[in-house]
Amino acid sequence: MVKVFDLINSYDFLRSLRLCDLGVNSKMPDIAKLEKYGYKEFISFIMVTVFIMRFYHLIFLLFLPLNVFAEGQRVITASSPANRVALLELYTSEGCSSCPPAEEWLSNLKDSGISSQQLIPLAFHVTYWDYIGWRDQFASERHDQRQRKIAQYNSQNTIYTPQFVLSGSDYRTYNRFSSDVREIVSKESDVDLKLSLQQKDISNLDVELLINTERSNVKDIAFFIAVYEDDLSVEVSDGENEGELLHHDYVVRQIHGPFIQNASDTSFSFKQAVVIGESWKQENLFLVAFAQDYRAGGVLQAVRLKLQE
């Protein structure tokens, strides 16, 4: 039996190759003339090199597009349950010395046994403590604006950190937290949400929120889509938390909305393009959508999905 190695090094085999069939856009050399002048070994070397290069190029073209196409077709969906889901918001800052205990309490909810069909937490980092000396890299003025809007809903004259907001209401009765969540979850939801995403490539998501408000009596409903990340740590070198290593969960990276429903529609959808930051860890990313009474501020329903299972 002829070995593959012997076959590849066979001059007769090399002469039988047609470079034009491998995609080389050049005229075939006159091998007979080259042989006459003693270039047989040189011809063998060149033809082996070209063959190997074109072979690996063909493998690359065959397999890479299949992988990209499969990744682009990845679609994930999540639907809200029949019950209302409680939304817990924490307004916090790395420049606030009172905030780390609140964030630790929030992080402990991951091990509490409460599912996303009952409770979805979000941590909004605000900017108004940055002036002290430490700039919170997760803070956004959009978070400041949302907190001020919540203050208006709750007839509050000031905003503060750390502040918890449970389903739209300023929340301070922490000793009753479990029973308060159970009370919200015991109610039937009048709003149905279905959140879906299609990952176009490693950093771009097409997100769609399907909504049904047929059973709801609320006239003006606002809808939001948020991206949050778990398991973040930051060494603080200035401000009130100087020298501390802070651990964060449920950190809102982006929030989109409000998307306002048309009063005449009870079944509709919104689409949103989401760009994932280079430093974000996709295995720790989640998408959240929630519906809020745009006049009174109460959160009517929420749903969550994980980018990577």
Which of 34-43, 213-222, 225-234 has the largest mean confidence? 225-234
Confidence of residue 244 (pLDDT cuts 50, 70, 90): very high
**In this model, does residue 242 exceed pLDDT 90?**
yes
pLDDT at 15: 41
pLDDT at 308: 87
3-state secondary structure labels for all residues of the chain: CCCHHHHHCCHHHHHHCCHHHHCCCCCCCCHHHHHHCCCHHHHHHHHHHHHHHHHHHHHHHHHHHHHHHHHHCCEEEEECCCECCEEEEEEECCCCCCHHHHHHHHHHHHHCCCCCCCEEEEEEECCCCHHHCCCCCCCCHHHHHHHHHHHHHCCCCCCCCCEEEECCEEECCHHHHHHHHHHHHCCECCCEEEEEEEECCCCEEEEEEEEECCCCCCCCEEEEEEEEECCEEEECCCCCCCCCEEEECCEEEEEEEEEECCCCCCEEEEEEEEECCCCCCHHHEEEEEEEEECCCCCEEEEEEEECCC
| Section 198-211 average pLDDT | 94
| Section 148-169 average pLDDT | 98
pLDDT in tens, 37-52: 455 555 555 555 545 5
CATH topology of domain 75-306: Immunoglobulin-like (2.60.40)
Residue intervals in the chain for CATH 2.60.40.10: 75-306
| Residue 228 near residue 122 (C-beta atoms within 8 A) | yes
**In this model, does residue 13 exceed pLDDT 80?**
no
Q: Which residues sit opposite 193 in a β-bridge?
A: 211
Among 44, 46, 66, 65, residue whose Cα is nearest residue 54: 46
- Look up residue 12 and give its two tokens: 């007769």
> Which of 6-10, 45-49, 219-223 shows the lowest mean pLDDT across its residues?
6-10
pLDDT in tens, 259-300: 998 767 899 999 999 999 999 999 999 999 999 999 999 999
pLDDT in tens, 141-153: 999 999 999 999 9
Calculate the average pLDDT of the chain: 84
Q: To which residue do tokens 């109460």 refer?
A: 298
pLDDT in tens, 56-96: 554 444 444 434 334 445 789 999 999 999 999 999 999 99
pLDDT in tens, 106-130: 999 999 989 999 999 999 999 999 9
